[in-house]
Amino acid sequence: MKNIIDLKGVWKVYRMGEVDVPALRGIDLEIKKGEFLAIIGPSGSGKSTMMNLVGCLDSPTRGKILLDGRDITEFSESELAQTRGQKIGFVFQQFNLIPTLTALENVMLPLAFQNVDDAKARKKAIEILNLVGLKERMKHLPNQLSGGERQRVSIARALSVDPEVILADEPTGNLDSRTGEFIIEFLGKIHREEKKTIIMVTHDMNLAKHAEKMVRIKDGQIEKIERRGSS
């Protein structure tokens, strides 16, 4: 199975006043197409920084990041934005839904950015909202939905452009345990049935155990890589 993402000697250093603060220190990591990966570590370990880099939301200070064999560190801002829109779906802990748009309109939004015809976008969004069990809630605004429903809208929005990679940042962090279990099982279903590459950032070991591979991050470096069933 080929690699969909390669990180090669990736550093991310932030300038804080007159001091350089490294968030990532020489990360080397291969992520295979169709893999379910969990990046785990305590707060401040660098895991969210890594997700931002993989998601084309930020650029490394040095090193290379290859997405489908193309070095995204050489992309212009417009190329990065296009890549995000076409290849990557985001699921955030805070949901990040537009409060003035209905569930349906939130899911249609990424399709609008890709210049998809409005009728086709609406049809696609309805199909995906049905898939996540929100057939009766698609005309509701985010503040009329429960936390679990909002996260399902977030997942539907991530799936709307049929991305190759789904990045999930603490996807169950604001949910009760029962709803969180539904969300993680749904991500697992997408992985199995749709063959999506899923990269999940979490500090929760119980959540991470749903992944095929766990990458432990500490102080900006990879401490350990484990496959499910291995020690």
How many domains are contained in the chain?
1
Residues 52 and 74: their CA atoms lie apart, in Å, by 16
To which residue do tokens 């209905």 refer? Answer: 102
- At residue 200, the pLDDT reads 95
pLDDT at position 180, please?
A: 86
CA-based end-to-end distance of the chain: 23
**Closest C-alpha to 24, from 6, 48, 3:** 48
Q: Report yes or no on 48 lying in a domain.
A: yes
- pLDDT of res. 216: 95
Structural domain contains residue 204: yes
What's residue 137's pLDDT?
A: 95
Residue 112 lies in a domain: yes
Is 197 inside a domain boundary? Answer: yes
**Structural domain boundaries, residue 184:** 34-56+85-227
- Torsion from C-alpha of 124, 164, 226, 21, nearest 10 degrees: -110
Give the per-residue pLDDT at 229: 59
Tell me the pLDDT of the chain (231 aa) as tens digits.
789 999 999 999 999 999 999 999 999 999 999 999 999 998 889 998 999 999 988 899 999 999 999 999 899 988 888 888 889 999 988 889 999 999 999 999 999 988 999 999 999 999 999 999 999 999 999 999 999 999 999 999 999 999 999 999 988 888 888 888 888 998 999 999 989 999 999 888 888 889 999 999 999 999 999 987 544
Q: Which of 113, 112, 137, 142 is nearest to 126 (CA)?
A: 137
CATH number, residue 175: 3.40.50.300
- Signed CA dihedral, 39, 40, 46, 48: sign only: positive
Are 192 and 80 spatial neighbours (Cβ–Cβ below 8 Å)? no
25 within some domain: no
Query: Does residue 206 form part of some domain?
Result: yes
Structure confidence at residue 231 (pLDDT): 42
Q: Is residue 15 part of a domain?
A: no
Asked whether residue 80 is assigned to any structural domain, the reply reads: no
